[in-house]
Every structure is written in C-alpha cells, then in structure tokens.
Amino acid sequence: MAAAEAEMVSSLIADTASDAAGTAATTVAAAAAAEVAARTSSQAQVSKSALAAKLLSLSGVFAVHKPKGPTSAELLNRLKGKLLAEAGMPSPEWNKRQKQTLKIGHGGTLDSAAQGVLVVGIGKGTKMLTSMLSGSKKYIAVGELGRATDTLDSTGKVTDEKPYDKITQEDIEGILQKFTGNIMQVPPLYSALKKDGQRLSTLVKRGEAVEARPARLVTVYSISLLRFQPPLFTLDVECGGGFYIRSLVNDIGRELSSCANVLELTRTKQGPFTLEEHALPEDRWTIDDIAQSLEHYTSLLPDELASKKSKSERSSDQVLSCEYITLNGTKREEDSVKTL
C-alpha cells in the first residue's frame, strides 16, 4: 500500500515537472518569436527610412509610358502614390520635416485619349522640363476622314460630316509638303492653353464663349503617310514644341475638301527619350528602376543641355508645363507649351 502511494506521488511530481518544463519552453519560444518580430519590424522601419531617403534624393529627368485613359496629371498622381507607398511615406516622422518634399513634374501634356512617352522631372529635374518642351517630338497619328468633332479627336461631338470616297493616297501625299517646315497653326479650343489662368478646354466645357487663338508659328521637321485605308490614314510626324497633331489632322481634312479628326495618337519620342527604349511601364515605377533611369539620362541629353544642368537647377523663374507635386499637396504651375 505504501509502495503504491509512493509511486503515485512520484508520478504526480514527474507530471508537474513536465508541465513546468513545457510552460518554460513555450515562454522561451514566445519570447524568441517576439524578439524576431521586433527585429523584423525594426529592420523594416530602417528599410523604409532608407527608401524614403533615397526617394527624396532622386533628381533628374526620366520617361514613363502613359496609357490611354488617364490624363497626364492623373498619371503623375498615380506615379507619386506608388513611390510614396513604396517608401512608407508620408509618415509622422517625415511630416515633421517640412523641408523634405517630393517634387515631380511632367513636361508636355498628353490628353487622356493619347498614349506614349511622358517625360517626368523629379527633384531638381523639374527645372529641366522647359528644355524638354522645346525639343522635338515624334508621333504616330491615325486620322479619320469624313468626320469633324469639336475637340478635333474621337472623344468630341460630331460637328460635320463630308464625303471622302474620292480621296486617294496620292492626294494625301501630295499635300503633306504644305504642312512641313515652319508653318502657321491655329491651336484647338480644347487644349491646355490658358485664358485668365484657366484652361481653354475648361471654359469651353462650361459653355463660355471662347475666341479661337490666333495662328502661331510652329515647326514640322518631317511628315509621311504610313498607310491609307479609307477612311483611316496613318501619319508619322516629327515636330517642335507647341505643335498640335489634332490641328494638323483637321487642317489636312480641310485641304482635301473634306474633314477629319484624330482617332488614335501615340507619342513615340520626346527629346532623347523613346517609347521602346526609355519609357518605364507602370510595373517598373519603383524607386530603384527610376534611380537606374536617372543614372543614364544625362548621356541621353544634348551636350549643351547637360552642361547647363546646374544653371537650370539654380534658375527659379522658368515657366514649366507640369504638375508640381509635394508631400503636402499638388500645385498647378502655369502651362508654357503644350502638344496635342
């Protein structure tokens, strides 16, 4: 009897010791897990801080691929959001440092229906956008004969329809020379040009009376007909700043005793940036990808522009065609030269 009781007591002691050991092991494991989590969190914070610092140090000009749909300003806001999210900004730590701002601007507006190269300046690179605007641009434009719209493209209301069945490829090729070189062009009413600080397109949409802007001197370096499948015709155009492809297609339609509007428009080149080689698609809108692009952009710029970079960065009186975006909001700057 005594032996049985002793054995029972011994078993209880062993079970208690086992439970205590298990509890201790669980406590140690929990503490270790908490330490790992804390270390991971700390490392993540350090990583985010490093990314934020890297983002704010970026400076220069690069190109992104703008798809159809968003406006240039909307695309810029999307880019800003991706970069800030990747860097974990803005956080209370960064908000306290009011001098730390992310400045981004775009040079040369593309309308929502257009796609292609959109040049972006970041940091001090926003001071170089004016030079991008004055450089050459290349477009592939698909025009539609026989139909005119109030916006001069397919997004507008039809204002006129005329026959086009007698127009031949030779007819189109024969008039293109008239639109080459230094020519006078009337910009469209639906444009980013401004009157009293407001865009003409905004005023027109409100139903306000807006007078057509006077014709101005623009430059077309080359223009060729790539294909003609009535009523569609495709043009390859290289032009200077301030040139509107919509006005060109509209004028071509009139010259052919018909009418026309832009059905599709793709900017394939702006300055030294080409769509195929340099424009970053949205899945590459990361801090590292942009940093790599900025490392190469100087070699793409003309020598005279690259040599004047520091001077441009110091200039404070340049008028830029862009949206300035900081961590504290968006500030719209006066538009200088717009294309499309």
pLDDT of the residue at 184: 97
Q: Is 70 exceeded by the pLDDT of residue 207?
A: no
Q: Return phi, psi of residue 45, to 5°.
A: -65, -40
Q: What is the pLDDT of residues 276-304, one digit of tens each?
A: 999 999 999 999 999 999 988 767 665 54
Q: For residue 168, count other CB atoms closer than 10 A to its CB.
A: 11
- Tens of pLDDT along 266-276? 999 999 999 99
Task: Label residue 16 exposed, middle or buried (CB < 10 Å: 0-12, 13-18, 19+).
Answer: exposed
Q: pLDDT for 3-38, tens place per residue? A: 555 555 455 445 555 555 555 556 655 555 555 454
Q: Mind listing the pLDDT tens digit for each residue in 127-156?
A: 888 877 777 999 999 999 999 999 999 999
Q: Please answer whether residues 324 and 126 qualify as being in contact, where contact means their C-beta atoms are separated by less than 8 angstroms.
A: yes
> Catalytic: 111?
yes
Percent of the chain with pLDDT over 90: 53
- Given a cut of 90, whether residue 174 has pLDDT beyond it is yes
Classified by CATH at the fold level, domain 137-270 comes out as Pseudouridine synthase (3.30.2350)
Cα–Cα distance for residue pair 237/136, rounded to 1 Å: 10
pLDDT exceeds cutoff 90 at 68: yes
| 202-207 mean pLDDT | 50
Q: What is the pLDDT of residue 334?
A: 32
Average pLDDT of 234-252? 96
Please give the share of the chain, as a percent, with pLDDT higher than 70: 64
CB-based contact 129:322 (threshold 8 Å):
yes
- Helix or strand run (H / E) with residue 202: helix 200-205
pLDDT on residue 178: 97
Cβ atoms of 245 and 148 within 8 Å: the answer is: no
pLDDT-derived band at 108, boundaries 50, 70, 90: confident
Q: What mean pLDDT, rounded, does the chain reach?
A: 78
Mean pLDDT, range 239-253, rounded to an integer = 95
Catalytic residue (choose from 15, 19, 111, 335): 111
Q: Of 116 and 95, which is predicted with more confidence?
A: 116
Of 160 and 326, the structure prediction assigns the larger pLDDT to 160
Extents of the domains making up the chain:
56-134+280-332, 137-270
> Which of the four pLDDT bands, split at 50, 70 and 90, describes residue 189?
confident
Cβ neighbour number for residue 193 with a 10 Å cutoff: 18
